[in-house]
Amino acid sequence: MLINRRVALKQLGLITGGVLLLPACARPPKQPTIALKNLVINGDQEALLAEVSEAIIPATDIPGAKALEVPNFVLRMVDDCYDADAQKSFVTGLAQFDEEARKKIGKSFVDATPEEREGFLKGIEESTKNAGENASQTDLTKFYAIAKERTVQGFLESKYIMTEVLVHTMIPGRFNGCVEIKDKNDIQTVIG
């Protein structure tokens, strides 16, 4: 009887451990960090978009797309400003993007080196150019076109770029009203 009790306790311990580990193995995809009304994406897709944006505009001596939170801008723009068909193509293309990367690179886009990412993105652009303007676009090429366009827009319109990189003088600029104009070339110095 003592042996049967030990076997029973051992089996009970294994079953309990298995039940405790099961939720860790079968976890649902991460939730996105941004609340969206129309797009249905998970946290993994959000991370993929962040890596795509960073590959389009990487960090150099100025911050890249991820540091300036451009992927959130892209998602918000697609969620708020695109029609249902474009949103569906965007989400479908986002899912196809990583599948295509696995076929071409042999690994996930997130796990790829910067050189592999750049080569993969150039391949998508080349295939789009070779297909011609009249050819129907796939969801993958639609996704990439939207992501690239909105990444560049979000980067250029970010607070950091507008205040630290593209510093400009407010209109109307400076005015020197008490300057005598002797030559037509002096006009440029007067109006700045």
| Predicted pLDDT of residue 5 | 74
* CA end-to-end distance (rounded Å), the chain: 100
Domain ranges of the chain: 43-165
pLDDT digits over 104-160, tens only?
989 999 999 999 999 999 998 888 777 665 556 788 889 999 999 999 999 999 999
Write the pLDDT tens digit of every residue in 37-79. Answer: 888 888 899 999 999 999 999 999 999 999 999 999 999 999 9
Look at residue 72 in the predicted model and tell me its pLDDT.
94
Cβ atoms of 92 and 40 within 8 Å: the answer is no
Check: pTM over 0.85? Answer yes or no. Answer: no
Give percent of the chain above pLDDT 70: 74
